[in-house]
Amino acid sequence: MKRFEIKDDFYLDNQPFKIISGAIHYFRVVPEYWLDRLEKLKALGCNTVETYVPWNLHEPHQGIYDFEKRLDVRKFIQLAGDLGLYVILRPAPYICAEWEFGGLPYWLIKDPSVKVRFENPKFMEKISSYFAHLFPQVVDLQITNGGPIILMQVENEYGGYANDKNYMERMADMMKSHGVNVPFVTSDGPWGDMLENGSIPETALPTINCGSKVKEHFKRLRAFHGTKKPLMVMEFWIGWFDAWGDVIHHTTDAEESAHELADILEEGSVNIYMFHGGTNFGFTSGANYYEKLAPDVTSYDYDALLTEWGDITPKYRKFQEVIAKFTTIPEVRFSTEIEKIAYGELKVRAKTSLFHNLDKLSKRFHHNYPLTMEELNQGTGYIYYQSQIGKARPIEDFRLIECMDRAQIFINENHIATQYDLEIGQKLEFELTEPKNQLGILVENMGRVNYSVKMNHQEKGIRDGVIINGAFQSEWDIYSLPMDNLNKLDFEATWQSGQPAFYQFKFNASTIGDTFIDLEGWGKGFITVNGFNIGRFWEKGPQQRLYIPGPLLKQGINEIIVFESEGKVGESITLTDLPKLSKD
């Protein structure tokens, strides 16, 4: 039986062991490509793979668990082990990862007495319930049981959030109580008080996250350890993520990154973040918030060693040259054949308005004031509020009070304004001209904040209400729109220009391969392929095309549905074999 220990260094079976790891998030890659990505990791010269575990995917609604198909974390770990790779597992509760709510499930927000990421009795109770389902999937895959898992992480970058050491120790104790017996690590930035805040050195080995100046940061980490301990960069940032509205797709210099990698490996161990970024499918991308909301794009390419679609990059080759100085590069035959196919231009086959499908997609809920998504047991997507606001008259004071994240305002199904983030709450004035007038407000969750103090208030939709001429409007019909049931759409129902609407496309595929959907001329929305939500698009970029992995397609007829919310549409879309992650 193999043993992995932390002493003055990492030891595998009593021999010093340098961890050379790369990050792959199984939930950002279709399962059919897991093996391909892991083989390419091994071929780089890595001996280990690291992955997060997103609580909000595995328990999407309280008490409902999912560890199947693309959420089969057990299978991913076993595949790694079959290739001779070891595994670093970074489980819940919080992962950051530019992921919706940092991996925390939305339903925690429903109870205001739950204080996330602190030793709060209700929070700890909910984590324990989740751990009771998560850890049976993986504890027998620890190296102590003959499996590939060598390390597990306690929380994540906690020093950048708080310094509740009791919470951290309780978390470690809970993991132990659920069968974890491999060594623990924590990971934090090396700046300011982060290491001090987030570390529990008697329980877990402190490691650091950074992208440059490694020698300087290792000096700080060595001093923090006090005695000789292994040095490790748990997240060696070799790229960065993109937010909607960024000017360009973020990239980093390959030569500089390779030089930093060499500096790390000369003194310690590494986990390359990201080796392969993958895709924020559906509505899973998170957001950052400092001066303003910065929601992340669908691609999590990250300028990683493999592209979002799995191609080997020049940066991969430079990293391989560095790693070859520290270990033998194995010969690996890639067993998955992946082709890129341009299926060509597709014309719109059918189209229908959102407003004429509300009762197909949702069950109307009537309430005397607006309710948030969370209050209606909804995590992501959109929510629509509708109210009768009376006779023709001037509206001199219209305001949305505590609403997130993006609101489109309609009078009698005609768009009059859109407010986003900092604009929300600004006063609007307009004229009602009909004898009877209907107000509609479509609110989109653009991604719950995944880092910083803004995590404490992430209710989506309208929280407080809507002011009309100085008073809160009452009596609302509310439609919860997670957009997970588009098979119920009625494409025979009315379509009207300028409204949020669905557009259907079909094409016949004789050969299956990866492709990219180009939506030039389209505004904002999301796309499903054979019922699977591949993610959001937005003309503001930088991402211009969305990646469709081949396994989502089938031989024969395939259906694509585009939901577009701005009324800005074209007559066609194009499936091309070329990606485009930047406007340039």
Residues carrying an active site annotation: 157, 235
Q: Name the packing angle between helices 254-267 and 314-323 (round to 10°).
A: 20
Phi–psi pair at 259, nearest 5 degrees: -65, -45
**Residue reference for tokens 């070329």:** 578
Say which amino acid occupies 44. Answer: L
Rounded Cα gap, residues 47 and 87, in angstroms: 9
Helix, coil or strand: residue 321: helix
CA nearest to 436, candidates 369, 494, 370, 387 = 387
Structure tokens at 90: 């970074």
Phi–psi pair at 281, nearest 5 degrees: -60, 155
Structure tokens at 369: 């004031």
Write out the H or E segment, with its range, that includes residue 222: helix 214-225
If you count DSSP H runs as helices and E runs as strands, how many of each does the chain have, helices first? Answer: 10, 32
Structure tokens at 42: 């091994």
CA nearest to 400, candidates 379, 428, 378 = 428
How far CA 397 is from CA of 369, 400, 476, in Å, comes to 18, 10, 19
Rounded Cα gap, residues 115 and 288, in angstroms: 20
**How many Cβ atoms sit within 10 Å of the Cβ of residue 293?**
21
* Cβ–Cβ under 8 Å, residues 78 and 51: no
Rounded Cα gap, residues 91 and 537, in angstroms: 29
Q: Is residue 175 reached through a cis peptide bond, with omega within 30 degrees of 0 on the bond before it?
A: no
Please return the burial class of 10, using the count of CB atoms within 10 Å of its CB with bins 0-12, 13-18 and 19+.
Answer: buried
CA nearest to 379, candidates 501, 526, 481, 478 = 481
CA nearest to 44, candidates 337, 339, 312, 336 = 312
Got the DSSP string for 88-132? EEE-SS---TTBGGGG--GGGGG-TT--TTS--HHHHHHHHHHHH
